[in-house]
Amino acid sequence: MKICENIALLRRQRNLTQEELAKALGVTNQAVSKWESGQNCPDIGLLPQMADLFRVSLDELMGRKPLPGTENIEKIKEQAERERDRAQTLSMLHQVQIMHSYFLRKAIKHSPDEETDKRLEEKAAQGKWGFSCIDRPEIMTCMKKGTVIFSDNRLADPESAQLKSAARHMAVFSDPKALKIMTVLHILTVEDEEKFASPADIAAKCRLGEKTVREYFDGVLADYLQEKEDSFRIEGMYMHLLPVMSLLSDI
């Protein structure tokens, strides 16, 4: 791993924002952002302080030794691929089930509620369903276009840091302009992992001034972004946020 990748990984492992890391090291948010994107490297004098902050050795920080928790990274990648395949399979099975339910009702001419049948037909055609399309009370499902959520309705006891992190994300995306900018950025870049969008392109699409887009990118949205030659895309770990939030519009 390169040092830029290590800094980003260690910061997230310690649940720090770019702003918090910058404050701890006495640098600007933009400096941390450029380190993590590989545009600049930190001053050599900051490395011991950074290693102490992350509680790793200088060799680990520089990528000369594996970071704690990354020894089984290939196994983790394989598991992620299996989980993705499983989610796709479950999605297809659920679509089959909702279509089967609709056509079975038609075949046996059992239609106590024509309005329900109409809604079911529309959902099947659109590839989406509402909450709990399957008849198992211990499982909740929800789908909207390509986003599917499966839940056993159990909520783990979250740690205080997790609650703070969730509250921070909610605060950012409760701002309509921030949500609009990120939605447009997602649409412009989601189909190509190498695609970045300029603030001017984003501003034109969301009908906000380029100055406003840049202010958000330098401010509350900075932690969510990758930057390359003054163009941007959403960090991979946050790409799911916009599709998931689109589900909330139906609640």
- Domains of the chain as residue ranges with CATH: 3-62 (1.10.260.40), 73-151 (no CATH), 160-248 (1.10.10.10)
Q: What is the pLDDT of residue 104?
A: 46
Q: Which tens digit of pLDDT belongs to each residue from 96-155?
A: 555 555 554 554 444 455 665 566 556 555 555 555 555 455 666 666 666 767 776 676
Give the other-Cβ count within 10 Å of 212's Cβ: 15
Whole-structure pTM value: 0.52
DSSP classification of residue 197:
B
Contact predicate 78/86, CB 8 Å: no
DSSP classification of residue 247:
H
Q: What is the pLDDT of residue 108?
A: 44
Q: What is the pLDDT of residue 234?
A: 92
Q: Which ranges of the chain have pLDDT less than 70? A: 1, 64-146, 148, 152-153, 155-156, 249-251
Q: What is the pLDDT of residue 221?
A: 93
Q: DSSP letter string over 24-45?
A: HHT--HHHHHHHHHTSS---GG
